[in-house]
Every structure is written in C-alpha cells, then in structure tokens.
Amino acid sequence: MMTLVAFAISIGYVFSVAATFLFPGESLYWEIATLISVFLLGHWLEMRAVRGATGALSELARLIPPSAHLFKGNHTVDVPTSQIKLGDRVLVKPGEKVPIDGLVISGETSVDESMVTGESRPIGKKNGDKVIGGTVNQDGSLTVEVTKVGIDTAIAQIMKLIREAQASKPNVQLLADKAAGVLFYVAVIAGITSFIFWFFVIPQGVIFAATVAVAAIVIACPHALGLAIPTVTTITSTLGAKNGILIKDMKGLEIARKLNYVVLDKTGTLTRGEFGVTNKVDARILALAAAVEIHSQHSIAKGIVNEARKQKLKISEVKDFKSFPGKGAMGTVDGIKVAVGNRALLLDQGIHDKSKFPSEDQGKGKTPVYVIVADKLTGVILLADIVREDSKEAIEKLHDMDIKTAMLTGDTKDVAQDVGKQLGVDTIFAEVLPEEKVNKVKELQNSGNVVAMVGDGVNDAPSLTQAHVGIAIGAGTDVAVESADIVLMKNDPMDVVKAISLSRKTNAKMVQNLFWATGYNVLAIPIAAGVFYPSFGLLLKPEWAAILMSLSSVIVIVNALWLRRAKLD
Ligand code: ADP
Ligand code: MG
C-alpha cells in the first residue's frame, strides 16, 4: 500500500516538476497535495481506532495498584508493588485492590474478580484461598502471602495470551494479505495501461493521461484490505478477554464457527469435580487411602482426603508413591502396600475378584473407588460429584446451534449414563483411559465432524491438541492451557457457547470487511481508469480517488469497532 501511494505521488510530483521547468504545461501539485492530506487523515483515523482496540492491554496493566501494604514485623509499610517478593506478606484493606497473586493467611472477605474471570458475583475468600492481583476486595481485610510475582501473575499471563492472540493470524488474513499483494500489481498495471491508452491510443494530452494514471493507482490501493482482518481480530480478543474467554490462537477461533460436535470432559467440566464420600467407610481403610491420595491431583483424591480430614483421621506418610492416570494411585503406608483406584487398577494388580460390596448397590450413579491393602481388596469408597447448574443450559444452547454434544470420561458407565441423562448429551464415551480419549476425538473427526474438545485436566491435553478446536476450561491445569486454542477463565460451560458465538460474530465481521475493502475499490478502478469517460464523461480525479480509498478504510474500521458492542450468548 505504501509503495503504491509513494509511486502515485512520485509520478505526480516528477511530472509536475517537469511541467514547471522543462516544458510548458499544467501541473498536478494541487492533486497530489490533496491526496497526501486525505491519506494522512485516513491514517490518523486508523491509528486512533487501532489504539482504542488494543486498549485492553493497558486497561489490564492499570488494574494492578502501584503500591502495597507490606508487613514488616507487626506493622506495615507502603512499598511499590514491583518490589514485592515471593513469600512477602501484604495487607489488603476493605475496598482496596489486591496488589498481587497470593494465598489468604488470615481474614475473611469477598472479592470482585470480574475483571479477570468475567464472573460478576463476588467470591468469598477465607484462610487458604487464592486471590488474584488486580481484583477488588469488598468488605473485609486480608493478610495475603505472595505466591506469584512478575510475569507469573494471573494478569501478566492474561496480557501475554492477549498479545500472542493479537500476533496470531487467522487463515483468512493470510488470504487477505495475498489478495493485497495481487491488488498491488493490478494497481500498477491499471495505472500504466491507462496512461498508455490516454496518451497514445486516444491522445488526450499528457496531463489527462497522468491524472488518470495516478487516480487509478490510488483507487486500487489495497489499504482497507490490509486493515480488514487485523482490526476485527484485535477487537475480538479484547471482547473475548472481557467475557473471560482468552483466545490463544485465532485459527482455532476461526474454525469454531463451523463446529458441529462438542466433546466435553465430565469431571471438572460438566460436573463440579468436587467429590464427596457417600458411604460409611472403615476409618482405617479411609486413612490408608487418604495417605496415598494426598499426593494425587485428581478431584476424587481430594474428595477422599477431605473426608479423612473431616473425620480427623491421622494421615500417615507415604513412600514409593505412583500415579496411574485414569486408574488410580498406589504407595507404601506404614510399611503396607496400598492401592486406590477403579476396576482397571484392580485388574492391573491381578485382582479378578468380581465380588461386590454390599454398599455398591445403593451406589447407583456414584463412582466406586476400591482400596487394595496388602494385595487384598479390602474396601470401597463411593463418591458423588455435583452436576453444574449451567451444564444443562449449555448443552441445550449447543443443540439450538445445531451442534451435537458428547461426554468423555474415565468414570464408570453407570455414573456416565446418570450424568448424561440429566444433561441430555447425544453421545456418551465412558471408561475411557486417558490415552484413548484422543482416539474418541479422532473417531468423530474421521466421520466428517468438526470437533471441539473441552477439558481441564492433564489427561485431556492430547485431545485438546487433536480436536479442531481445543478449549481449556477453568484456566485448568497448565498443560491443558498450553494445548488449547481457547482458554475459559471461569468454570462455566456456558462460556463454550459464548466462545462459539464470538467466533460466528467475528467471522461475519471479517466477511463484511473483506467486502467493503475489495468490492468498493475494485468497482472504482474502471471509473478511475477512464473506462466511462468516452461515453458518459465520467472520471475520478486523484483527490476523489484518495477520499474514496480512505473512506473504504474508515468504513472497515468503524464496522470492526461495532463488534465491541456485541453481546455474546
Ligand atoms: P475424567 O475423564 O472423568 O476426568 P480420569 O480419566 O481422570 O477421569 O479418571 C478416570 C477414573 O479413574 C476415575 O473415575 C477414577 O475411577 C479413577 N481414578 C483416577 N485417578 C484416581 C485417583 N487418584 N484415585 C482414585 N481413582 C482414580
Ligand atoms: Mg477431568
């Protein structure tokens, strides 16, 4: 674009200088001066719009308060937030912003986290809870121990993701860039041809020929085409971030509009992943199980440990801890070998005991976890999870959008059926081992579906990568976030619907913008080249060509800016 404008201006200028000093003739000074002014005005408007769109980054940076109350012994001193180190303790007073990420060590309050998660309800915080820098403390005062500083803080991570997203190009932009490249040659050829035509074929004098050539080049400038997509994507990433949807890769969001199958992980995605123990378990067995599970990240493990703590059981040290993803875990407790897990783990341990525990029958829809002590099956712990209220609505909305849903889980068929029925999902894949999850996604893809995978766990990471669109939920585990194209800050399945809606809206804007950017200019090229001059006397002067060219850029920018107002649902 710059080359073309420089080219057009140079021709006009050289020609005018020659007309002034070398041969008598009219000059194009006025035309090229107007062209430059209009062009600069367009550029100024564009910069303003772009700055408005990238404002999300500076808005986020402003969330972090400049100073914090740092504890020095029993009293506090105010220090710049940037000087706070890991392990420091800071005081957060009512109504103040939390300066940095940390753990609450005393005090109780609720915190408005909407700027980070998009969740508008204040979240209750007490001892041991995580707080995020930049969120607003409401009514209580808190002492916070700093757990993250610098680029590790949540806000810094979000800013990094937004920057990455803005740098990632959707495929349609690569296409637009190519088209802009082609349009460059079209412009040069249109300019040269019209000069030759109006100078040699139907001689109208050099002034006329040069004016027409300059106008044709200017009108063909693919300026708007270069803006059409980036203006939309910057606004999309900002709008997404405001709704708790972080887009890591624009290509993923681009495909999301075509989705017709969404696969959701059960535990932690459709359900809360907060397991409670529902049967009476022998205290010794529970304590042994908890001793092993205390080292596991799995939500089932957390449920077992919580129950043991609730019963104030002594949780011993474990040696030789080993985890078997999708099956369970084992270790040595007080010299006894203890394994905790599902049927698959029992088989691995060579226990083919088909006997049922009496309590298992009342356990319909509950997840059984077997406890093997010294190679003998000695107990079962039944756990139940809670289905998220939003899951049902999300599944319904997806169906409304003509998208099928599947639930993928390592849990038993019983539990999967139970949850699946409650939610109305179309397909249920149960008792799937972590390494097979990815095959289920492939199966759906091979039958011609465009598939999204939604998950939170380490074991979901391969499927997130395999799916056309990988969506990590609840800002899950780091591995899940790494493998995903889209990261949802909240644990709300409705945000999957929002992300798809954002994708569709973004795409519509891109198509409109491409239309305005090309259609408009391409139509005006023949007019500028003087095609309609002989019969209608219709001609486009260079200054008008410049105005039209800038106008198409302005239309493209304004059209993109409208996306900022879009509501996602
Ligand atoms: P999901 O697909 O629901 O996230 P996973 O693949 O993580 O489930 O686990 C599948 C099954 O493996 C669980 O339902 C549970 O029966 C068993 N399991 C996995 N990890 C553990 C553990 N640490 N303790 C007990 N059982 C476990
Ligand atoms: Mg999971």
Q: Which atom of ligand 1 is nearest to the CA of 342?
A: 16
pLDDT confidence bin for 549, thresholds 50/70/90: confident
pLDDT at position 155 over 90: no
Percent of the chain residues past pLDDT 70, beyond the cut: 94
| Residue 383 CB less than 6 A away from ligand 1 | no
d(CA 384, CA 109): 29
For the chain, helix (H) and strand (E) counts, in that order, are: 21, 22
Ligand 1 centre to CA of 305 (Å) is 15
The first and second tokens of residue 418, run together, are 């139970």
pLDDT confidence bin for 118, thresholds 50/70/90: low
Q: Which of 174-188, 358-372, 376-390 has the highest mean pLDDT?
A: 376-390
Q: Regarding beta strands 328-333 and 318-324, do their DSSP bridges make them parallel or antiparallel, or are they unpaired?
A: antiparallel
pLDDT score, position 492: 87
| Residue 342 CB less than 6 A away from ligand 1 | yes
Give pLDDT tens digits for 184-204: 888 889 889 999 999 999 888
pLDDT score, position 293: 94
Q: Choose which residue among 297, 298, 370 to substitute to test ligand 1 binding: the one with the highest number of ligand atoms within 8 A of its C-beta.
A: 298
- Among 164-173, 280-289, 445-454, 461-470, whose mean pLDDT is lowest? 164-173
Cβ neighbours, 10 Å, residue 177: 14
User: In 3D, which of 111, 103, 114, 101 has the Cα closest to residue 155?
Assistant: 101
pLDDT at position 89 over 90: yes
d(CA 375, CA 46): 71
Smallest-distance ligand from the CA of 298 = 1
d(CA 89, CA 72): 8
pLDDT confidence bin for 289, thresholds 50/70/90: very high
The residue whose CA has the least distance to atom 21 of ligand 1 is 328
The first and second tokens of residue 12, run together, are 């006009």
pLDDT at position 354 over 80: no
The residue whose CA has the least distance to atom 13 of ligand 1 is 411
pLDDT score, position 352: 79
Higher pLDDT pick, 16 / 504: 504
Q: Which of 108-122, 394-408, 428-442, 517-531 has the highest mean pLDDT?
A: 394-408
| Residue 409 CB less than 6 A away from ligand 1 | yes
pLDDT score, position 478: 67
pLDDT at position 53 over 60: no
pLDDT at position 256 over 70: yes
pLDDT at position 225 over 60: yes
Higher pLDDT pick, 521 / 389: 389
Q: Choose which residue among 265, 266, 267 to substitute to test ligand 1 binding: the one with the highest number of ligand atoms within 8 A of its C-beta.
A: 267
Q: Which atom of ligand 1 is nearest to the CA of 324?
A: 20
- Asked if 507 and 518 touch (Cβ cutoff 8 Å), the reply is no
d(CA 343, CA 368): 9
Q: Which of 265, 456, 485, 495 is catalytic?
A: 265
Task: Tell me what the mean pLDDT of segment 97-105 comes to.
Answer: 93
Would the pTM count as exceeding 0.75? yes
- Among 165-179, 254-268, 508-522, whose mean pLDDT is lowest? 165-179
Phi/psi at 558 (nearest 5 deg)? -60, -40
- Asked if 549 and 525 touch (Cβ cutoff 8 Å), the reply is no
The residue whose CA has the least distance to atom 10 of ligand 1 is 410
d(CA 219, CA 546): 7
d(CA 137, CA 126): 12
pLDDT score, position 503: 95
pLDDT confidence bin for 509, thresholds 50/70/90: very high
Cβ neighbours, 10 Å, residue 87: 10
pLDDT at position 310 over 70: yes
- In the chain, how long is the greatest CA-to-CA distance? 109
| Residue 301 CB less than 6 A away from ligand 1 | yes
Task: Tell me what the mean pLDDT of segment 77-100 comes to.
Answer: 92
d(CA 404, CA 504): 17
d(CA 312, CA 293): 16
Q: Choose which residue among 342, 349, 438, 463 to substitute to test ligand 1 binding: the one with the highest number of ligand atoms within 8 A of its C-beta.
A: 342
pLDDT at position 51 over 70: no
| Residue 368 CB less than 6 A away from ligand 1 | no
Beta bridge partner(s), residue 70: 77, 90
| Residue 31 CB less than 6 A away from ligand 1 | no
| Residue 170 CB less than 6 A away from ligand 1 | no
pLDDT confidence bin for 477, thresholds 50/70/90: low
d(CA 97, CA 325): 39
- Among 41-50, 300-309, 539-548, 559-568, whose mean pLDDT is lowest? 41-50
DSSP 197-255: IIIIIS---HHHHHHHHHHHHHHT--HHHHHHHHHHHHHHHHHHHHTTEEES-HHHHHH
Percent of the chain residues past pLDDT 90, beyond the cut: 39
| Residue 267 CB less than 6 A away from ligand 1 | yes
- Asked if 231 and 48 touch (Cβ cutoff 8 Å), the reply is no
pLDDT at position 216 over 80: yes
- Asked if 267 and 273 touch (Cβ cutoff 8 Å), the reply is yes
User: In 3D, which of 311, 273, 319 has the Cα closest to residue 292?
Assistant: 319
Ligand 2 centre to CA of 163 (Å) is 28
Ligand 2 centre to CA of 266 (Å) is 6
pLDDT at position 501 over 90: yes
d(CA 455, CA 271): 11
Q: Which residue has the tokens 């766990």?
A: 457
**Alpha carbon 440 to its chain's center:** 24
pLDDT score, position 49: 63
For residue 16, what are the contacts with CB-CB under 8 A and spacing of at least 6?
A: 27, 28, 29, 32
265 included as an active-site residue: yes
pLDDT at position 312 over 90: yes
| Residue 369 CB less than 6 A away from ligand 1 | yes
pLDDT score, position 56: 63
pLDDT at position 48 over 80: no
pLDDT score, position 50: 62
Smallest-distance ligand from the CA of 455 = 2
pLDDT at position 384 over 80: yes
Q: Choose which residue among 327, 383, 432, 479 to substitute to test ligand 1 binding: the one with the highest number of ligand atoms within 8 A of its C-beta.
A: 327
| Residue 501 CB less than 6 A away from ligand 1 | no
* Mean pLDDT score across all residues of the chain: 86
Beta bridge partner(s), residue 57: none
Task: Tell me what the mean pLDDT of segment 120-138 comes to.
Answer: 88
Ligand 2 centre to CA of 520 (Å) is 50
Question: Which amino acid is present at 439?
Answer: N
